Amino acid sequence: MTRSLVPFLALASALWLGACAGDSACPASGQSLTILSPMDGEAVTGSEFDVTLRVCGFERDDVIALVIDEPVASDYGFVTYLGDPVLTLRVPALPGTMRMHATDDATRTVRSSDVSVTTAP
């Protein structure tokens, strides 16, 4: 009976290790930031909305900044990277069109693409 479980346990372990090996959406090397949501051009409602980021290649305790470019330029939010490849920040909805990007806070050399959203109450 024990011998029949060995192949099953080996397969289950391989699948688990493969799932934990890293985020397949990240490049093999280098750092990158991607705004996953909201999508560019999306309409958001309410007084706040969530911005979800994919973080790749950063070291633990690196700081990621969310920068609002329009309607007012401002470093809005900062989050310390603790190893989770997906981070979420809550952003206040400013009336009209908002344009934003994510960047590394230390050197500002790694930057996501800009995302613009239209806000409505």
Domains and CATH numbers, the chain: 24-120 (2.60.40.10)
Q: How would residue 24 be classed by pLDDT, with cut points 50, 70 and 90?
A: low
Q: How would residue 17 be classed by pLDDT, with cut points 50, 70 and 90?
A: very low
Check residue 48 and give its pLDDT: 94
User: Looking at residues 80-95, what average pLDDT do you find?
Assistant: 92
Report the mean per-residue pLDDT for the chain. Answer: 82
Angstrom CA distances, 107 to 22, 59, 63, 78, stand at: 25, 14, 10, 14
Q: What are phi and psi of 72, to 5 degrees?
A: -130, 130
Q: How would residue 26 be classed by pLDDT, with cut points 50, 70 and 90?
A: confident
Question: Do 79 and 87 meet the contact criterion of CB atoms below 8 Å apart?
Answer: yes
Residue 16 has pLDDT above 70, yes or no: no
